[in-house]
Structures are given as structure tokens and as C-alpha cells.
């Protein structure tokens, strides 16, 4: 994989605001999927797909 391909994949993953919020929360410490899902109007499986 070319370095630019990796950068594109990284930015594509971070383009989703829910995923960015989850990463921000995890930067504070460990959390369960239930804890991560609390602030979002999405299902637990949807949160799991973001992980």
C-alpha cells in the first residue's frame, strides 16, 4: 500500500463525526460499548462497527 493510500484511508475513517466522537471519548480512558453508545441515537451494533 502506498503511503498516500494509507493517509486516504485514515482520513476517510475520521470523516465520520460519530467515529471522531468515539475516539475522543476513548482518549479519556476505557469504555464499554454501552458507555460509548449513550450519547448517540444509534444501535449498539452500529457503534460496534465504528470500533
Position 3 scores a pLDDT of: 74
- Whichever domain contains 9, its CATH number is 1.10.10.10
Position 13 scores a pLDDT of: 85
Place of cell 454501552: 34
The residue segments making up the domain with residue 30 are: 3-50
Reported as a single tens digit per residue, the pLDDT across 1-51 is: 677 788 999 899 889 999 999 999 999 999 999 999 999 999 999 999 988
Task: Count the domains in the chain.
Answer: 1
Yes or no: say if 25 and 36 are a contact pair by the CB < 8 Å rule. Answer: yes
Amino acid at each position: 500500500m502506498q503511503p498516500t493510500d494509507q493517509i486516504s484511508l485514515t482520513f476517510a475513517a475520521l470523516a465520520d463525526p460519530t467515529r471522531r466522537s468515539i475516539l475522543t471519548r476513548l482518549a479519556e480512558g476505557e469504555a464499554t460499548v454501552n458507555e460509548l453508545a449513550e450519547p448517540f441515537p444509534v444501535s449498539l451494533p452500529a457503534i460496534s462497527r465504528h470500533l
